[in-house]
C-alpha cells in the first residue's frame, strides 16, 4: 500500500489551516504492492485458480487479493466476524498481537506517551500523518478552540431526554443531530468542508460527552472555556458544580493518557462500522454516531466496567483462588484478560497499570479493587491454564479502576472511551473518503434458507386470514394461533418471524 508522504502540512491562512495538497490522497493498492508470484487455489473439482499476492509495509507476509473472486470465478469466501479478512488499506495504525505492538503512524503508542506527547498532538498525528511542528500545533489548537461551542439548538435536545437516560444514548443521538445543523448536505469531495467537519466534531465531542453526564444526573450544563486545554476543559465541564473546577495535573495526565491509548486500534468493530457507513458517502456526523452505537455494545466498549463488577463480586483476596477455579471450570468469566488480537501482554495495559500504582501512591491510600486486580493478575499469570491459552491482561483490566479513581462514574466509562476514540474514527473516515478506489461495503452471505417454492392455495388462504385479523384490529399472531387449532394447517413457528419481521 502506498505510504504517507513525509512532507509537513502547509499552513493555509484560510479557515482551514494545515492541509498539504500533495498528501491529501487516500491509501490504496497499486502494482508496487503485488508480488510477482501468484498463489494457486485448487478446489475439489481439480480446477485451479490463480490469486495475486499483496505485501504490506509490515505485517503478514502474504495477503491474498480475492476482490475479483466472485465476479471472475463465481467463488465466495466464508469469514464470519472478518477474522481473516483485510477489509481495507490503511496507513493509520498497526497492531501486532503476537509481539504486543501498537503503533500510530509508525510510532509506538507507549513511546509517544513516555516522550510526553499530549492527546491533541496525537490527534494531529492520526489525522495528518506527522507529529506537529510548534506552529502547526498552535494553529490546530486555535482551530479547535474556534469550533468548541455547540449550537443552542443542540443544547435544547438534551432537555428532551429524561433524567437518568444512559449517556451513550444521548451522545449518539446528539452526534447524529449535528448533521441537521452543519453542512447538510456535506460535500465529501471538498477537502475544506471535510476538514472543517472533522475539526468541528473533534472540538465539540468533549462538550457533548460532559453534557450527557450532566443531563444524566440532573445538573445544569456547563459551557466550555477557551482558556483550558482539551482534557482540562472536559474535566471542567464534567465536575464544575457551585464552585469552579480546580485542575489537578495528575488527573489531567491520567485522562490524557487514557485518550491517547484509546485513540485508535485499527479495524475494530466501531471503526469498521464508521468505515462501512462512510462507504455510502453519508456525512461524518452520522458515521461517528454509528461508531458510538457499535461501541456501546457490551462486547466492545463495556469491558472495563465488567472488570469492576467482577472484582466487586470476588470481594476479597481469600476468594481469588476459588474464582480462578470457577473460571477454569467455565462457571465464571475472567474479564479484562485475553484479546481478539493480542496474544501477549497488551502494551496499553502496562501503561494503565503503572498509572494506577502512581495515582494511589500519590493519594496515599489503598484501593481494594486495585489490590484484588494485582493479586488476581499474579495468580493468573502463574497458572499454566492461562499461559497455555495466552490470556494476558488487556487495556480494560486496569483502565476502569483508573477512571473510577479520578471520579468518573462507571456508567460513563464507554462515553469516555468514545471521546478518546473519536479522532481515530475521524482519521479512518477521512482516509476512506480520500481514496478514489473506495466502493460501498456490500458483504456476501452463505444462504441457508429455503430453495425456490411456489405459493400454494393454503398460503393464499393464510393471507386472507391475515387481512381479516387486521380488519378486526387483533394482533395477527394471536388470531393465527387460534385459527391454527381449528385447521391444523399451520404451526406458530411458520409465522413467528414472517409477520412483523424486517424485510
Strands 93-96 and 107-108: unpaired
Other C-beta atoms lying within 10 Å of the C-beta of residue 291: 31
Which of the residues are catalytic? 339, 396
Residue 431 backbone phi and psi in degrees, to 5: -60, -40
Average pLDDT per block of 10 residues along the chain, 503 residues long: 41 40 56 78 86 84 82 86 88 90 95 97 97 96 95 91 89 94 73 92 97 92 94 97 91 97 95 96 95 92 90 95 94 89 87 95 92 95 92 92 95 97 97 88 91 80 65 60 56 34 33
How far is residue 97's CA from residue 341's CA, in Å, rounded to a whole number? 5
Burial 105-130 (b: 16+ CB within 10 A, else e): beeebbebbeeebbbbbbbbbbbbbb
* pLDDT confidence of residue 492: 40
- Residue-wise pLDDT tens digits, 301-343: 888 899 999 999 999 999 999 999 999 999 999 998 988 788 8
- Residue-wise pLDDT tens digits, 171-200: 999 999 999 887 666 777 788 889 999 999
CA atoms within 13 A on the CB side of 303: 19
Q: Is the pTM of this model over 0.75?
A: yes
Residue 381's contacts (CB-CB under 8 Å, 6 or more residues apart) are 387, 392
CA atoms within 13 A on the CB side of 439: 5
Of 287, 92, 90, 105, the C-alpha closest to 201 is 287
Instruction: Say which DSSP state 89 is in.
Output: -
Average pLDDT taken over every residue of the chain:
85
Burial 315-342 (b: 16+ CB within 10 A, else e): eeeeebeebbeebeeeebebbbbbbebb
Of 142, 136, 113, 112, the C-alpha closest to 124 is 136
C-alpha cell of residue 109: 503508542
Dump the DSSP string for 21-86. Answer: GGG-------GGGEEEEEEEEE-TTS-EEEEEEE--SSS-S-EEE-TTHHHHH------GGGTT--
Q: Identify the structural domains of the chain with CATH numbers, from first to last.
A: 21-108 (no CATH), 109-449 (1.10.580.10), 457-494 (no CATH)
Q: Let me know if 48 is exposed, middle or buried by CB neighbors in 10 A (0-12, 13-18, 19+).
A: exposed
Q: Let me know if 492 is exposed, middle or buried by CB neighbors in 10 A (0-12, 13-18, 19+).
A: exposed
How far is residue 311's CA from residue 336's CA, in Å, rounded to a whole number? 11
* pLDDT confidence of residue 480: 63
* pLDDT confidence of residue 66: 86
* pLDDT confidence of residue 502: 33
Coil/strand/helix, residue 42 = strand
- Residue-wise pLDDT tens digits, 27-62: 666 666 777 788 888 888 888 888 888 888 888 877
User: Phi-psi region for residue 473, left (φ > 0), alpha (ψ -120 to 50) or beta?
Assistant: left
Beta bridge partners of 107: 104
Coil/strand/helix, residue 322 = helix
Amino acid at each position: 500500500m502506498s505510504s504517507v508522504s513525509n512532507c509537513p502540512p502547509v499552513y493555509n491562512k484560510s479557515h482551514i489551516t494545515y492541509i498539504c495538497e500533495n498528501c491529501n490522497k487516500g491509501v490504496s493498492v497499486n502494482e508496487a504492492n503485488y508480488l510477482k508470484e501468484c498463489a494457486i487455489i485448487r478446489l475439489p473439482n481439480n480446477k485451479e485458480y490463480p490469486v495475486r499476492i499483496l505485501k504490506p509495509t509490515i505485517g503478514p507476509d502474504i495477503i491474498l487479493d480475492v476482490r475479483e473472486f466472485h465476479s471472475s470465478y463465481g467463488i465466495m469466501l466464508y469469514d464470519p466476524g472478518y477474522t481473516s479478512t483485510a477489509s481495507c488499506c490503511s496507513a493509520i495504525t498497526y497492531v501486532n498481537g503476537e509481539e504486543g505492538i501498537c503503533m500510530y503512524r509508525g510510532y509506538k503508542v507507549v513511546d509517544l506517551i513516555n516522550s510526553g506527547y499530549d492527546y491533541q498532538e496525537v490527534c494531529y498525528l492520526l489525522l495528518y500523518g506527522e507529529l506537529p511542528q510548534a506552529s502547526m500545533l498552535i494553529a490546530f489548537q486555535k482551530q479547535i478552540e474556534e469550533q468548541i461551542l455547540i449550537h443552542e439548538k443542540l443544547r435544547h435536545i438534551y432537555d428532551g431526554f429524561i433524567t437518568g437516560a444512559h449517556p451513550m444514548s444521548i451522545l449518539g443521538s446528539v452526534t447524529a443531530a449535528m448533521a441537521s445543523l452543519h453542512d447538510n448536505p456535506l460535500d465529501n469531495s471538498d477537502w475544506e468542508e471535510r476538514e472543517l467537519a472533522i475539526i468541528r466534531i473533534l472540538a465539540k465531542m468533549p462538550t457533548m460527552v460532559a453534557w450527557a453526564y450532566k443531563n444524566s444526573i440532573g445538573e445544569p450544563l456547563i459551557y466550555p472555556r477557551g482558556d483550558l486545554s482539551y482534557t482540562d476543559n472536559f474535566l471542567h465541564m464534567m465536575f464544575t458544580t457551585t464552585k469552579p473546577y480546580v485542575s489537578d495535573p495528575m488527573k489531567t495526565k491520567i485522562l490524557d493518557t487514557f485518550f491517547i491509548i484509546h485513540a485508535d486500534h485499527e479495524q475494530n468493530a466501531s471503526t469498521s462500522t464508521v468505515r462501512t457507513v462512510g462507504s455510502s458517502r453519508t456525512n461524518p456526523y452520522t458515521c461517528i454516531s454509528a461508531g458510538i452505537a457499535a461501541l456501546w455494545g457490551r462486547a466492545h466498549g463495556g469491558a472495563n466496567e465488567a472488570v469492576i463488577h467482577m472484582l466487586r463480586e470476588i470481594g476479597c483476596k481469600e476468594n481469588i483462588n476459588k474464582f480462578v477455579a470457577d473460571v477454569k471450570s467455565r462457571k465464571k468469566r475472567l474479564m479484562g484478560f485475553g484479546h481478539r488480537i493480542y496474544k501477549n501482554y497488551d502494551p496499553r495495559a502496562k501503561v494503565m497499570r503503572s498509572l494506577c500504582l502512581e495515582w494511589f501512591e500519590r493519594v496515599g491510600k489503598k484501593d481494594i479493587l486495585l489490590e484484588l486486580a494485582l493479586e488476581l493478575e499474579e495468580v493468573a499469570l502463574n497458572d499454566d491454564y492461562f499461559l497455555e491459552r495466552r490470556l494476558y491482561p488487556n487495556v480494560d483490566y486496569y483502565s476502569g479502576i483508573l477512571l473510577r479513581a479520578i471520579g468518573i462514574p462507571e456508567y460513563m466509562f464507554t462515553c469516555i472511551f468514545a471521546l478518546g476514540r473519536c479522532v481515530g474514527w475521524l482519521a479512518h473516515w477521512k482516509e476512506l473518503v480520500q481514496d478514489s478506489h473506495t466502493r460501498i461495503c456490500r458483504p456476501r452471505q452463505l444462504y441457508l434458507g429455503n430453495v425456490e417454492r411456489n405459493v400454494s392455495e393454503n398460503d393464499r388462504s393464510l393471507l386472507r386470514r391475515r387481512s381479516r385479523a387486521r380488519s378486526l384490529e387483533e394482533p395477527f399472531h394471536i388470531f393465527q394461533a387460534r385459527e391454527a387449532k381449528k385447521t391444523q394447517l399451520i404451526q406458530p413457528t411458520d409465522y413467528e418471524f414472517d409477520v412483523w419481521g424486517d424485510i
